[in-house]
Structure 1
Amino acid sequence: MIFSLGINHHSAPLAIRERVAFGADRLQHALGELAQGQGVREVAILSTCNRTEIYCSAESPQQVVDWLSAYHQVAQADLAPYLYVHDQPDAIRHAFRVACGLDSMVIGEPQILGQVKDAVRAAETAGTLGTQLHKLFQRAFSVAKEVRSTTAIGANIVSMAAAGVHLAERIFESVAGQRILFIGAGEMIELCAAHFCAEKPKAVTVANRTVERGRTLAERYGGTAIRLDELPDHLAQHDIVVSCTASPLPIIGLGMVERAVKARRHRPMFIVDLAVPRDVEQEVGELDDVFLYTVDDLAQIVESGLESRQAAVVEAEGIIGQRVQEFLGWLQSRDTVPVIRSLRDSVERMRRHELEHAQKLLAKGESPEKVLELLSQRLSNKLLHAPTSTLNAAEGEDRNALQAAASRLFHLHPGD
């Protein structure tokens, strides 16, 4: 049975989401540990700034819930109000909707598809992606492509990065002329850099744990790179700060920002914290002259384009509904595989036994024609013995059902 469970921006506030987030450095270990649990056959973990979700083929979702609670040391009572659990077919539908961007804060945003693909690659590397989940996600990618190519779901998209620029322009008359500091060098920071730098800022700095990677991004926009431990010396020089790292703890504390504000002589500082867990201590938002926004705060901006995409959403949901039914059909066909394999093994044993018997007769000098005739008769009798005995012994409705099944299986037409 395929299950999906987790929390997202619809069900849980940021304070809860950051407690169960998986950093990239912990993901392989987490996948391996969960897959070792009894009854968990396959598993993939999707962890982004807006969601932490576990997709699995398992006997029961409860054992996965127990593991999630224990792994992050979050009491189930604290997690329960925000946790959703889907089984078939809802788990399949949810996976398709997530891949299509229908469950995102920004309806139709394309970044989530790349994040799902990263989650699948991580599960493949960890050896926890089996036949069912592999097929599920391949179908999800196919559905996402179909939805994006046949509907207007991605039209006039408002991205998180574009929303950040919009908010900055509420604080400053223009992004042009401002000094921008990007903290991190991952995909989200690259997207933000593309949007902010399109506005021709005065200066760009990239702070990253690995200076070489930060320099690669900074040079793309004519900027400079610094190490993360140099932040306290450089923070005051920047008007706009955009942060998104995988740090498990805040890297910008209240004291650091207080000193920066003082050095800036209370000129406003705009900070966007896109990380989960947060990169910036929550108390920073209470400072005068500091405008701190988290991923949840961007919701008001990105919702503005929702109405124009409602018709496309309806179309997309229709496509997803059809593809869910097709995938359920594939899963049901998988249920017959053990029976088919057993049937083939049984017939193969009969064939080998009768072949050996025929070869012995030929070795004794029996005529080939007689041996072939006997082989065919004995094989036919053995093949038909079990089904005919079962039909003869059946009574009432059971007999009717077996007769109907036999007619379908062997394409019989008793009335002809």
Structure 2
Amino acid sequence: MQVSHSKEIANFHIVGINYKKTDAAIRGLYAINQAQYQELLEHARTVQLDDLFVLSTCNRTEIYGFAPSPRDLMELLCRKSQGTMLQLEEMAYIKSGEDAIRHLYQVGTGLDSQILGDYEIIGQIRNAAKFSKAKQCLGGFLERLVNSVLQVSKLIKTETGLSKGTVSVAFATVRMLERICPDIRNKKIVLLGVGKIGRNTCKNMIEYLGVKQITLINRTMQVAQDFAGQHGLRFAPIEDMVPEMRAADVILVASNAPQPTVLAPHLADSGPKLVIDLSIPFNVAAAVGELPEVSLVNVDELSKVQDETLQNRLGEVPKALGIIEEHMAEFLYWYKMRKHAVVLKAVKDKLHEIHMREIQQQKNGNDYKMEDVEQVSSRIIQKMINLMAGKVRKETEKSDLYIAMINDIFETGVKQD
């Protein structure tokens, strides 16, 4: 892997796959868990890629960072995920420079989400960047950019209606249950996995559907027990997962296993069931959906559940885009000024070096006289002129440009043809 690259915006890339072109099964191949994320960052440092972060959610996996080529980021992603380079080259989208910056703003504000205005994504970006920073893989450019995106996301949430109303995968689950299970209050429900998505889905079912026959199962039983106690629900140990699922009418799977935990033999000949898989990668084997009395729904199908709220949000998109463009322009101005500051400091250091060298030569251990100071100043000026003239002579094709710039910078008043 080539490692020499500059931190010019042209070398800032994003490579990703999302719900627009890939289904949940393919996205699952490129999903990155925390352990894989740490390994990816550790390897990145060994090849001198040290300003990047990875965003991995149920709807997308994206890697942002500076690299000689987007392919370097693709190789990093494939190295630690289950996906292949060949498939990623076919399915991925690649953006560079200002397009990559704009993409992050749109992702962070929910404009690029499968459910328009999804506000959870910004927390996932914050956590992904925070993790990269803790591993010394988030540079000043990306940290500043992420902070700007966080600010813009908050501004859009408060000044537009883009995130108003209740629309999420968890709420879409409730709407689906409401439509296909009108007697849901009388159904036995098992929730496997009491992480964030599982808890949100459970709370929505209690609040909007009034269900109480929910049994919680989690690999760490204390988590299930605590949540069950807070909401008056039942819980069971992971060892009882199969008999609990077989006795249920509705099974919600929101676990975070790297491979399916609910298999066809677990539910074979156990009666009619609705199984909803909220996990990426899938935690319910595809064969479960082939069982004669089982209906299997995954996150892609859930996200098709439309709500009138989404139509209202569409009208807020132009306002949100305007806010993004305004703050993106401020970020780019900061970046340009930062580049100038580096150059100006280097010029200052160069002038200081010439100044000190001339002073030292003039002193020779003797006291100063005014004419000595004048001679030193004259020599410093002449050395700077010699530096500029030497550059102009050397770069003949750019000589006119250099002279014009010098003329403009020092405001000489000399008119050039």
Would the TM-score normalized by the shorter structure come out above 0.5? yes
**Number of the residue aligned with 2:37:** 27
Match of 1:313 in 2: 317
Q: What per-residue deviation string (whole Å, max 9, x for no partner) do you get for residues 105-162 of structure 1?
A: 1100111111111111221122211122212211211221222222211122411111
Shift of 1:245: 1.9
Q: Give the unaligned 5+ runs of structure 1.
A: none
Residues 61, 374 of structure 1: alpha-carbon distance in 2 compared, 3 angstrom cutoff: same
Which region of structure 1 is more displaced relative to structure 2, 293-302 or 237-246? 237-246
Residue 402 of structure 1: aligned partner: 402
Q: Aligned residue for 1:246?
A: 256
**Distance in 2 (alpha carbons) for counterparts of 1:30 and 1:394:** 45
- Bigger shift: residues 342-351 or 88-97: 342-351
Mapped to 2, the partners of 1:304 and 1:296 lie a distance apart of: 19
**Aligned-partner residue type, residue 285 of structure 1:** G
Which of 351, 364, 367 is the equivalent residue of 2:366? 364
Q: Structure 1's 146 and 283: CA in aligned 2 closer, same or farther, altered over 3 A?
A: same
Question: 2:296 aligns to what SS in structure 1?
Answer: strand
Q: Is the contact between residue 24 and residue 246 of structure 1 (CA under 8 Å) also seen in structure 2?
A: no
Partner Cα separation in structure 1 for residue 38 and residue 57 of structure 2: 15
The whole-number CA distance in structure 1 between the counterparts of 2:81 and 2:128 is: 19
Query: Using the alignment, how far apart are the partners of 2:196 and 2:94 within structure 1?
Result: 29
User: Are 2:44 and 1:51 aligned?
Assistant: no
Query: In the alignment, which residue of structure 1 is the partner of 2:155?
Result: 146
C-alpha spacing 1:348/1:314, structure 2 compared with 1 (3 Å): same
Does the CA contact (< 8 Å) of 1:5 and 1:84 recur in 2? yes
Q: Deviations over 1:376-397 (max 9, x none)?
A: 3333333343235656x59999
Following superposition, the deviation at residue 413 of structure 1 comes to 3.9
Which segment is superposed worse, 68-77 or 305-314? Answer: 68-77
Change (3 A) 1:90 1:348: same
Summarize deviations over 1:1-56 as a string: whole Å, max 9, x none.
11111111111011211111112232211222234336x34221111111111111
| Letter of the structure 2 residue corresponding to residue 190 of structure 1 | R
User: In percent, how many aligned pairs have the same letter?
Assistant: 26
Which amino acid is the alignment partner of residue 364 of structure 1? N
SS at match of 1:176: helix
Q: Which residue of 1 aligns with 2:287?
A: 283
The structural deviation recorded for 1:183 is 1.8
Describe the shift of the 1:73–1:194 C-alpha distance in structure 2 as closer, same or farther (beyond 3 A): closer
Matched, 1:119 2:120: no
Residue of structure 1 equivalent to 2:383 = 382
Distance 2:13 2:107 in 1: 14
Is 2:197 the partner of 1:188?
A: yes
**In the aligned structure 2, how far is the partner of 1:312 from the partner of 1:200?**
32
- Decide whether the 8 Å contact of 1:147 with 1:316 is kept in 2: yes
Answer yes or no: is the 8 Å Cα contact 2:63–2:77 preserved in 1: no
The CA RMSD measured in Å over matched residues stands at 2.6
Amino acid at match of 1:64: L
1:212, distance to aligned residue in structure 2 (A): 1.9
Aligned with 1:92: secondary structure? helix
Shift of 1:72: 3.2
Match of 1:17 among 23, 27, 49: 27
Q: Distance in 2 between matches of 1:280 and 1:398?
A: 64
User: Is the aligned partner of 1:65 residue 2:74?
Assistant: yes
Which range moves more in the overlay, 406-415 or 242-251? 406-415
* Matched residue type, 2:40: A
Partner of residue 142 from structure 2, selected from 113, 123, 133: 133
Identify the residue that residue 242 of structure 2 maps to in structure 1.
232
Equivalent residue pairs, number:
404
Cα distance in 2 for residues equivalent to 1:21 and 1:399: 52
Q: Which amino acid aligns with 1:24?
A: Q
Q: Deviations over 1:215-267 (max 9, x none)?
A: 222222112433333201322343332222220111111111225x2xxxx3x
Which residue number corresponds to residue 230 of structure 2? Answer: 220
1:400 Cα deviation after fit:
4.5
Q: Does 1:7 align with 2:9?
A: no
TM-aligned CA distance change 1:396 to 1:178, over 3 Å: same
CA distance in 2 between partners of 1:408 and 1:225 (Å) = 76
Cα offset for 1:73? 4.8
Name the aligned partner's letter for residue 9 of structure 1: Y
Contact 1:44 1:120 in 2 (8 A): yes
Q: Which residue of 2 aligns with 1:353?
A: 357
Conservation of the 8 A alpha-carbon contact between 1:179 and 1:201 = no
The question of 1:101 aligning with 2:113 is answered no
Change (3 A) 1:82 1:303: farther
What is the CA-CA distance between 1:337 and the residue it aligns to? 5.2
| 2:4 corresponding residue in structure 1 | none
1:218 match: secondary structure: helix
Partners of 1:387 and 1:239 in 2: CA distance: 82
Q: For residues 374 and 170 of structure 1, what CA distance do their matches in structure 2 show?
A: 91
Displacement after TM superposition at 1:169 (Å)? 1.4
One-letter identity of the residue aligned with 2:139:
G
Equivalent positions of 1:260-339 (< 5 A) are 261=270, 266=271, 268-302=272-306, 305-336=309-340, 339=343
TM-score by length of 2: 0.88
Amino acid at match of 1:253: L
Greater alpha carbon shift after TM alignment, 221-230 vs 397-406: 397-406
